[in-house]
Amino acid sequence: MTRHQLFLVARQTYMNRMKTFGFWSVVLAPLLILLVIFGITFAIDATKSDEKPTVAIVNDTSLMTYLKKNKSVGAQYTNIKSSAKAKQALRNDKIDGYLTSQHERYHLTMAKDAESLSEDTLQTTINQYYMVNQAAKLHLDTKQLQNLIQPPSFNSTVYSSNGKTSAGGVSSNAANSMLAGGLGIFIFIFLTAYVGMIAQEIANEKSSRIMEILLAVTSAGVQFFGKLLGVAGLAITHGLVYVVAGVIGYVFVPDNKYVDMAKELLTGVDVGFAVMTGLLAIVGIFLYMILTAIISAMINDLSQVQQAVSPITYMAMIGYILTFILEGQPHNMLINTLSYVPFVSQTLMPARLGLQYANMTDAFIALVLEVVVLVFLARYGLRVYKKNVLTYSDGNITKAALLSLKGLFSKKTIDE
């Protein structure tokens, strides 16, 4: 294998795809969707009505005074003597709704087309009003009331099996598991995109017999690893585009509430967790790429690409789907075991790690297993690739796969 030829094949694969509309549509589609969602949300926010609803308080000046002082509900208030008059005013569109109070029971009636009003905020405000009134009846002063309603302090830490405690708590767990979930989607999108791309590349060269010309001057190793490097380069470029887009979003849209939410989420993520998850994901994607290259060598023509790629995509879905049923099952033996298994661990282990169902040692074991399988697959996969890439069978990929599996450990059959 010459390094220069390896570079040439990788560059050719990379540059050819970079110039296609297909590649950029895969890269930019999620960004465009985000941009459209952002744009629509912004447009809705910008065009929403600022008018406050007018709510009549029926015969309760004390409540009206309290509500007027407390501006959180975002409504205008007016006093009306009776429910009948309030109904009449509502019918005549003079008010948007009215609030009645009788024997400590409160009832809000709103017109169907009224300006929106947060019922939860109104209820909270009425609760406060009720509490203050009750405190007054019980002759409690302000301090006593505060002591009564002050919740006790509660914190949590997570004790892992190696005796270390880590930053626990809802925010850290939520951030880690949200990152794991997000990565699960991200990895799945990557896998489907690049698995298909590798299959197309190899099937195209094989079915058009260009492969024979290429192998006459290079070697199966140069073609196999060159293609993989080229497509890996595309995947890395894809990831970098998102990083750059994220940084641009972070820098140029600093006051946006969505950016603030993302910032808040990211600050809760452990660095160790992020690095381990990233490594598991990258090695996992490379594993799938190699597997696809091996299977694609068995394709006879482009019509078989889908047939070859589908089982790989289904396999990638296993880990992804299991992450959804993971929560609440920290000791499920099947899930725990599968989280170490390469081809599944890239999504399942980060999810277990995020939920604190596994620790860094578990993740490290999963990573080592991934790397071992990666090396094995690259080494023996090349033999299978070499055996199949110039063999044109009767069209049955399954048969070719079984024959390859049989010949995987046999040096004698590989060149035949």
Partner 1 sequence: MIELKNLTKEFGDKVAVDNMNMQLEAGHVVGLIGQNGAGKTTTFRMMLDFIKPTHGTITWDNHDITNRDRQNIGFLPEERGLYQKLSIEQQVVYFAALHGMSKSDAKQKLKHWMTRLDVVGKVTDKVQSLSKGNAQKVQLIATVITEPSLLILDEPFTGLDPVNAQLMMNEILRLKHNGAMIIFSSHNMSGVEKLSDELLMLKHGQTVLSGGLSDIRESFGRSEIYLESPVEDAELLAIPGVVSVEKEGDGRHLKLSDDRVGKEVFRIVARDGYVPVFAQTPPTLDEIFRREVAGGVEND
Residues at the contact surface with partner 1, assessed by CB under 8 A: 1-2, 5, 8-9, 12, 16, 204-205, 208-219, 390, 415-416
Nearest CB to partner 1, comparing residues 54 and 223 = 223
Cα distances (Å, whole numbers) of residue 398 to 198, 203, 299, 304, 406: 19, 16, 10, 11, 12
Min CB(412)–partner 1 separation in Å: 10
Nearest CB to partner 1, comparing residues 211 and 282 = 211
Nearest CB to partner 1, comparing residues 24 and 364 = 24
Cα distances (Å, whole numbers) of residue 19 to 12, 202, 305: 11, 18, 22
Return the ∠ at Cα 178 (arms to 246 and 264), rounded to 5°. Answer: 55
**Amino acid sitting at position 79:** N
Nearest CB to partner 1, comparing residues 211 and 363 = 211
Q: How many residues does the chain have?
A: 416
Nearest CB to partner 1, comparing residues 238 and 387 = 387
Min CB(30)–partner 1 separation in Å: 26
Min CB(227)–partner 1 separation in Å: 14
Nearest CB to partner 1, comparing residues 205 and 370 = 205
Query: Quick one: which of 360, 371, 365 has its CA closest to 176?
Result: 360
Min CB(23)–partner 1 separation in Å: 13
Sign of the CA dihedral 202, 208, 210, 211?
Answer: positive
Nearest CB to partner 1, comparing residues 218 and 307 = 218
- C-alpha to C-alpha distance for 142 and 69, rounded to whole angstroms: 18
Ranges of H-type helices in 2-141: 3-18, 21-47, 61-69, 83-91, 119-137
Min CB(406)–partner 1 separation in Å: 14
Min CB(325)–partner 1 separation in Å: 44
Q: How many CB atoms lie within 10 A of CB 176?
A: 24
Min CB(206)–partner 1 separation in Å: 9
Q: Torsion-angle region of residue 82: left (phi > 0), alpha (psi -120 to 50) or beta?
A: beta
Min CB(226)–partner 1 separation in Å: 10
Question: CB of 297 within 8 A of CB of 388?
Answer: yes
Return the ∠ at Cα 213 (arms to 209 and 218), rounded to 5°. Answer: 130
Ranges of H-type helices in 75-168: 83-91, 119-137, 142-149
Nearest CB to partner 1, comparing residues 100 and 304 = 304
